[in-house]
Amino acid sequence: MAGSESDPPETKKARKIFVLDTSVILYNHNAINSFEENDVAIPITVLEELDNFKKGNENKNFEAREFIRFMDKISGKFTMTNWRRINGPDKGRFKVVMYEKGRKDATLVFGEDKPDHRILNAALKIKEDNPAKKVILVSKDINLRLKAKSLNITAEDFQTGKVKNIDSLYSGKSTLDNINPEVVDKLYQDGFCSMEDLEMEKPFPNHYLILKSDKSSALAYYNPITQRVERVEKRSVSRIMPRNAEQVFALHAIMNPEVKLVTLQGVAGTGKTLLALAGAWEQRRNFKQIYLARPIVPLSNKDIGYLPGDIQSKLNPYMEPLWDNLKFIQNQYGEQDKEYKR
């Protein structure tokens, strides 16, 4: 076919055709690159819906704009109604599917002509035209997936970027039991020990350790500069005293000038914001400016522009947790202290 590209060489796995719903692209504009050597079909209805989402400051608006730019870039001077390479020979192909009805019409089955049903029709037509290939509709919309399955179309959620098992995430710390008491004593006496003393493999840089023997325990971390395991002491920062090992580690990382980026993960109320602010305040003389940032999440599906007042009044509800924590830090000082007045 003129203007189209031939199939890539056959691989051990039979290639599939994935039909993307609008919800997938609004979730991740780079989703089209997540299907390896398989082909990706974009219903024309999806492009129409993306046009309605391209204006705005929300994340979905950004995703819509980025996908439109990406499609324009990879299509180049060619049309998109024929199969085109996505990105190099190791990837599959993509094309935009026009609104065509096959032998089965979703708009008649569900009694309504709307975007979701047109996307289903696109998937039905592709399946009809490619009987030798497995056609899969990918959508974040559960109801659309159920409708697809009722029409005998394989449907899947877009899983890329999801954490299947949160326990598999890197936690930044490890607990070692049955440590030789002499090693723990050495940490307290010398402030460090070698990796050989712990009989463990070299960990990630700045990895934190809870070392336990039958007599005592110690907190430590692997220093990538000295390549030693060094003791971590419990200390207050801006008069905030950590209450557990995780908070000790967090403050140590924040106060370590060799660590340029610290990410803290935990449920609400574990002190993430307080520790970050305390560490920033303690080091304020080392920096020209400290920035406080919070994500602006629309309330009740209303954009920030719907809130009353000027820009400061609109932002106050979002910044309130930061002000509360700063006030808590201030209250650790007496009213006569210079730190309190600052």
pLDDT digits (tens, 9 = 90+) for 23-63: 999 999 999 888 888 999 999 999 999 999 988 878 899 99
* End residue of a domain, out of 233, 267, 288: 233
**Are both 291 and 324 inside the same structural domain?**
yes
Same domain, 151 and 53: yes
Q: Other C-beta atoms within 10 Å of 309: how many?
A: 9
- CATH number for the domain harbouring residue 122: 3.40.50.1010
Instruction: Please report whether residue 338 resides in a domain.
Output: yes
Burial class (CB in 10 A: 0-12, 13-18, 19+), 175: exposed
Q: What is the CATH number of the domain that holds 176?
A: 2.30.130
pLDDT over 70 for what percent of the chain?
Answer: 88
For the chain, the maximum distance between any two Cα atoms, rounded to a whole number of angstroms, is 83
Domain count, the chain: 3
State residue 11's pLDDT score: 45
Are both 151 and 218 inside the same structural domain?
no
Residue 250 lies in a domain: no
Assigned domain for 151 exists: yes
Q: Which helix (DSSP H) or strand (DSSP E) does residue 136 occupy?
A: strand 134-138
Of 237-246, 300-309, 321-330, the range with the lowest mean pLDDT is: 300-309
- Domain with 127, as residue range(s), is 16-156
Lowest mean pLDDT among 63-77, 259-273, 313-327: 313-327
Report the distance separating Cα 71 and Cα 87, nearest Å: 11
103 with 192, same domain? no
Whether residue 150 is found in the same domain as residue 211: no
- Distance separating alpha carbons of residues 120 and 135, to the nearest angstrom: 12
Task: Give start and end residues of each alpha helix (H) in the chain.
Answer: 22-27, 44-53, 59-75, 106-109, 115-129, 142-150, 181-190, 195-198, 245-255, 272-282, 311-330, 338-341
Instruction: Indicate whether 62 and 180 sit together in one domain.
Output: no
Question: What CA–CA distance (Å, rounded) separates 22 from 114?
Answer: 13
d(CA 318, CA 329) in angstroms, rounded, equals: 19
Same domain, yes or no, for 22 and 97?
yes
Give the model's pLDDT for residue 2. Answer: 44
For helices 59-75 and 44-53, angle between their N-to-C axes, nearest 10 degrees? 130
**Predicted confidence (pLDDT) at residue 4 exceeds the cutoff of 60:** no
Instruction: Return the closest-CA partner of residue 234 out of 224, 223, 249, 221.
Output: 249
Domain limit, last residue, from 135, 156, 177:
156
Task: Report the side by side order of strands in the sheet with 134-138.
Answer: 84-85, 93-97, 39-43, 16-20, 134-138, 154-156
- Distance between CA 319 and CA 179 in Å, rounded? 45
User: What confidence score (pLDDT) does residue 321 get?
Assistant: 87
Residue ending a domain, among 194, 218, 233, is 233
114 inside domain: yes
Instruction: Judge whether 203 lies within some domain.
Output: yes
Number of neighbours of residue 184 by Cβ within 10 angstroms: 22
Same domain (yes/no): 147, 177: no
Q: Are residues 82 and 173 in the same domain?
A: no
Distance CA 68, CA 65 (A): 5
Whether pLDDT at 231 is above 70: yes
The pLDDT of residue 257:
93
Pairing of strands 134-138, 228-231: unpaired
92 with 146, same domain: the answer is yes
Q: For residue 55, give the DSSP letter.
A: S
292 inside domain = yes
The reply to whether 161 falls in a domain is no
Both 148 and 173 in one domain: the answer is no
- 22/152 same-domain check: yes
Any domain includes 249: no
Indicate the pairing of strand 134-138 with strand 217-223.
unpaired
pTM metric for this prediction: 0.60
